[in-house]
Every structure is written in C-alpha cells, then in structure tokens.
A and B are shown apart, each in its own frame.
Chain A
Amino acid sequence: MLRADALQAIYPELEDRIVVTIMGAVAVELYMLGHRHNFFYLEHAMGLASSMGLGIALSLPEQKVIVLDGDGSLLMNLGTLSTMARYRPDNLLHIVFDNESLLSVGGFPTATGTGTDLAGIARASGVPQVMEANTCESLKDAVTQALAGNILATIVSKVEAVGPKSFYMDLPLLENRFQFKRCLEKMRRA
C-alpha cells in the first residue's frame, strides 16, 4: 500500500477532525490532498506529534484528535505510548504509517525492518485498542471503528517506502500554527 493512497482512503474521516502529522512525506501527502485549518504539520521535533495530540486531546475532550505518526518518529519517542496509555483519552486516535525507513532523509532502514513490532509495543504499553491494517480498505475500516469506539486506539499500517517528488508546501510554519490555533478556538466555542 502506498501511504498517499492510504491517506486518500481515510481523508473523508480526517477532513473535519483535528489532525497532527509528523514532518516529511506524511505532511506533504496530506497537504496535497487538500489543506484544512484543522490540520497541523509538525515540521520538526521528531517523535512529538503524538505528545502534541495528547495535549490537544486532554484540552479538548469533546473533539476527536487524530495523529499521523511514522515508524522513525515513533521510535524516537517510544515513551509516548506508555504516557498515552496511562491517560488513555478516548478522543485520541494514533495512526502509525510504518515504511520501515527514514524515507525523508534518504531511506535509511529503521528497526521495524528488522523485526521491531510497533503494534506489539503499543499493546504491551497498555494502549487499549491496537489494530494493524495493511490495505486501504482495512485501514478505512479500522479508522471508522476506532472513531466510533470512544477508546484510545493505535493503528499500525505498513506502507511502501515511497514518498512525494517534492517536499515543498506553500504554507509557512507560523501561518499553519496560527490558523490551527484559531480553528481550535472556534471548535472550543462551538
């Protein structure tokens, strides 16, 4: 499965929800499907998209928060799984695209390519619902199920190590930051 296809398959579920992505290919591919003010692309601080998602989920319990993570990023902050599992906000969905590679910096293999099992780590950390979905259809189903479930969930999706031709996004970091904050303020008042 290509990540771009996977994102397209779940885009209707992302469209109106608070979404935090990691940097690199995931950010660009979501952006190219159609940027929304409720999307935040964390263009650095690898590993912390899930921590940001946790902070938002705890602050806005009425809203669903979806984090789009990657294997390289998650491996940099494995403690986040135990912290999310400890507080298990029922409005947080953590999707991990695992391409077994640090694609955006040249495709160096990560430890998931040699056997590290992120879904297993999530389960062992205490995340109450962990699913694996390696086709667009199964991912779509898993996302629908997780969003309906009102329980913290992690979905791990194996994807091919293929990224976009260009990483350019016509969206300065601070513009994204301020429009995202304004959008969240509106959601809080609604």
Chain B
Amino acid sequence: MPVSVTSSKLIYDALKACDVKIISALPETWLVHLIRMADEDPDMTLVRIAKEEEAIGISAGAHLAGVNSALLMQNHGFLAAINPIVSLALLYKIPLLMLISYRGHMGEKDPWQTQGGMVTEPILRALNIPTWHLNNPGDIDRRLKDAQTLAHASLHPVAVLLSRELMWED
C-alpha cells in the first residue's frame, strides 16, 4: 500500500512533540500507518471510534480534563461530525486539533471520494475553522505545533488537511 510511512512517522512524531496523549481515529487508507503507530505506542491512548461524532465528545472531555488530544479522520468523517463541531466545540469553545485526510482532491481516482473533496474547504470556511494544508514533509513539525497553539489560544477547532502529495507515494 503506497501510503507514505515517512510522512506518517513525521506527523506522528510532531503529534508527540505537541504532547498529544489521546488520539481518536476511524480507519481510512491514508491514516493506516498513523493509527498503527498510535496503537503500538504504550504512552498513547488510541480510541477507535464507531463514528467521527464521538471523537468530538472524546476530545472535548479530554480538553476539560486537561489532556491534549488529536483527531484523525477522513474528510467524509469531518462531514459526519459537523453537528458536534458546531453544537459542542464551537458552542463551548473547545479547541480541536483535527488532522483530516484530504480525499477527493487533485489526483483522486476514486469517483466516490470526489464530492466530499469538493465541499471540504468551503465547509471549513463556512465554519470559520482555520486550516493548514500539509503538502511538504518539511512543514509538518512547525504547522502542527502552530495549529495546536492557535487552537488553544483561540479555544477553537483547527484543521490540518493532509494532502495526497504528502500521504500517497504513487
């Protein structure tokens, strides 16, 4: 499977550098290595959820309990979680660090991913969620740290879009 192990490792190490202790995730092709790394790390609590909505609740609970968390989801998972993002995270000023695999964008071969790809950024903008694109391995450390810093300072969700260039080695 040509998912980039190198980029996945850089992202995982950057999350560790951000003192992330809980990762909630729902399996998706581009995230397989990240989820495996979280699963194999005895210092990480990986919560495998049934639907992405749950992850918003889990991260909100972790934040109120003083623990840093991150969410791994596909962009369709982000779409599935819009209500709790609005009615929990935005309503209660909860910071979220959402790492979203950006399926259905340039280079996408799977027709079923394409509608989600086209609406992801417009919906992030409509929700006023600050968004970083992660395309280059060299940006990973800085952009993840800065995204977390902004989430905590603003008490607001932030999104990091993991691109095909970063995650997929054709």
Contact = CB atoms under 8 A, between A and B. Distances in A.
A59 B60 CA distance: 11
Contacts of B127: none
Interface stretch (A9-17, A50-58, A142-150): A50-58
Interface string A129-143: 000000000000000
B61 interface: yes
A59 B61 contact: yes
B88 A42 contact: yes
Interface string B90-111: 0111000000000000000000
A59 B65 contact: yes
Interface of B: 21-22, 45, 47-51, 53-67, 69, 83-84, 87-88, 91-93
Contacts, number: 106
Contacts of A44: 87-88, 91
Nearest to B45: A58
Given A45-B88, A173-B91, A40 B64 contact: yes
A83 B48 contact: yes
A12 B58 CA distance: 27
Nearest to A185: B66
B99 to A, nearest CB: 17
A56 B61 CA distance: 5
A77 B54 CA distance: 8
Interface string A165-190: 00000000110010011001100100
- Residue among A51, A80, A184 facing the most chain B CB atoms (10 A cut-off): A51
A58 B49 CA distance: 14
A45 B61 contact: no
A79 interface: yes
Contacts of A50: 57
Given A55-B58, A58-B22, A79-B54, A48 B64 contact: no
